[in-house]
Structure 1
Amino acid sequence: MKVKWYEFSSPQALARDLANKVSGELAKALSARNKALLAISGGTTPRLFLEELSSTPIHWERTAVTLADERFVPPSSERSNARLALRHFFKNRASDAEFVPLYHSGSNIDEAAERASKTIAALPLPLDVLVLGMGNDGHTASLFPDAENIGELLATLDGPPVQPVVSEAAQEPRLTLSMPVLCAARAIFLHIEGDDKRAVLEQALAKKSNLPIRAVIERAGVPVHVYWAPKG
C-alpha cells in the first residue's frame, strides 16, 4: 500500500507539522503555476490543524480552497462543514483565500450535486493538496460503506466531480468529491487521531477489504501521508 506514516505525541504537535507540510506543498504549487487548489475536510479532528494552517505565510490570495465533502445543510447549520471552515480556517492570513463551497440550495441532493459539479469543474484541477479524515467505519470524504450507491462511487473512473451520497450512517444526504477527483490530487494527507481510528486504518491496510479508505489509498496517484496522534 502506498502509505507514509507519521506519528506525533499530541494533536497540537501534529497540527503544527501538518500545517507546515501542507503550506509547503501549496507554496510549491504557487511557484510552479501561480495558483494553488486545496481541499480540506470537516468534523472535529481537523480544527487545530485548520487554526494552525490559517496563520501560515503563503500567498493565500492566489489559493482556492474547497471541501472534500459537505452535508446537505445550509452554512447556518452547526453540522455544516463550510461553517466549520469559516470559523476555524478562513481568518488570519487565510482570510485572503478564495472559498469554493460544495453546498448549493436545491430541491434535492441530486440537484445540489449537479450544481456543485459545475463549480468544481471550473477550478484548475487536479487538486494540489487534499487533506482527508476518516471515520471509525472506514469512510473518508463522504464515501460511506453503507451508502446506497457505494459500489458505483468507488468504481467510477470518470463522471461529475461531485457525487450525491445517501447513507443512514451519514444522517443527512451528503455531497462528496468523486473518486477521480480525490485520487488525482498531487499531494494527499490523511489526518486521524486516537487508537480506535488507528486500528481501523491498520486493519484496512493489512488485508483486502471493501472499506472506502482502502479504495482511495489503492487508487491514489501518489503515496498517502498518514498523520496520526493519540487523542488529546
Structure 2
Amino acid sequence: MNATIKKFENSVQLNEQFVAEIIEKLVSGIKNDGRASLLVSGGNTPKPLFTALTSTDLDWSKVDIALVDDRWVPLTDSASNETMVKEFLLKGNVANANFVGMKTTHTEAFDAVEEVTRNLANIKTPFDVVILGMGEDGHTASIFPCCEQLDDGLTTLKPILATQPTTAPHQRMTFSKSALLNSKQLYLHLVGANKEQVLNAVAAETDVRKAPISAF
C-alpha cells in the first residue's frame, strides 16, 4: 500500500479538493462498472464534507452508500451515524443514492451480524471510495485496541462483525479490515492538531493491535 499525506491550511481547502477527488472516483466507477460505491464514517469531522457533496453534479442514483461502522443505538439517538448521514449527506442530489444502513431491530449487535451482512452484500465491490476516521486511541471504524474483537476485526475474512469497546459506549457494527481494504481508494480524513499528533504517533507504531489504524 502506498500512503500519501496531504495537509491543508484549513478544512475549507481540504473539503474543496476532497469533494473533487471523491466525485472523480465515483464518476470513474460508474463509467467502468455501471455503478459506484462510497463508504463513509460518522462523527463531526465529515459533516462539512457531506454538506458540500449534496450539491455536486453526479448521477447519485448509480451510487451505493454505506457506513464504515455504526453504534448499535436507535435511529432516534444522536449517537447514530446513520441518523447523522441522513441529516447531512442524503440530501439534495445525494438523496437519490442507494443508502444501506447497518441498524436492525435486534437488541444486541452480535445477534444481527448475519442480517447486516446480507443487507450489505449487494453494495458494489471493490468499493470505489472508503473514508475512514481515527480516534485519539488509534482506532478506526469500530476496531478498537481495547475490545475483545480486536484480533477478529484485523484478521477475519468475513466482511462484518460486532464489537464492544471498553473505553467507549455502545456496542458497534463494523466492516472488517479485509473488507475495507477491498477498495480502489481509501482515505483517512482528519482535522485538527490533536489528530495530527495522533497520526504522527501511530505512523511509528509497529504493533497494529495498539493502534488499529496503522494496519491501514
What TM-score, normalized to structure 1?
0.89
**2:127 alignment partner, SS class:** coil
The answer to whether structure 1 residue 188 and structure 2 residue 182 are counterparts is no
- CA deviation map 1:136-156 (0-9, x unaligned): 111111111101111221122
Name segments (4+ residues, structure 1) moved above 6 Å: none
Name 2:170's counterpart in structure 1. Answer: 172
Write out aligned runs for 1:10-89 (5 A). 10-89=10-89
**2:173 alignment partner, SS class:** strand
The answer to whether structure 1 residue 214 and structure 2 residue 193 are counterparts is no
State the 1:169 CA deviation. Answer: 2.1
Higher relative contact order (CA 8 A, sep 6+): 1
Q: Which amino acid aligns with 2:52?
A: E
Structure 1: state its 5+ residue gaps.
218-232
**Distance between the aligned counterparts of 2:41 and 2:114, measured in 1?**
20
Greater share of strand: 1
State the 1:202 CA deviation. Answer: 1.4
Range moving further from structure 2, 134-143 or 111-120? 111-120
User: Cα RMSD between the aligned structures?
Assistant: 1.2
**Distance between the aligned counterparts of 1:77 and 1:70, measured in 2?**
12
- CA deviation map 1:40-72 (0-9, x unaligned): 000011100111112111110111100000000
**Distance between the aligned counterparts of 1:114 and 1:89, measured in 2?**
27
**1:145 alignment partner, SS class:** coil
Write out aligned runs for 1:116-155 (5 A). 116-155=116-155
Q: Which amino acid aligns with 1:99?
A: F
**Contact preservation (8 Å) 2:39, 2:130:** yes
**Distance between the aligned counterparts of 1:68 and 1:207, measured in 2?**
23
Q: Which amino acid aligns with 1:6?
A: K
Number of equivalences: 214
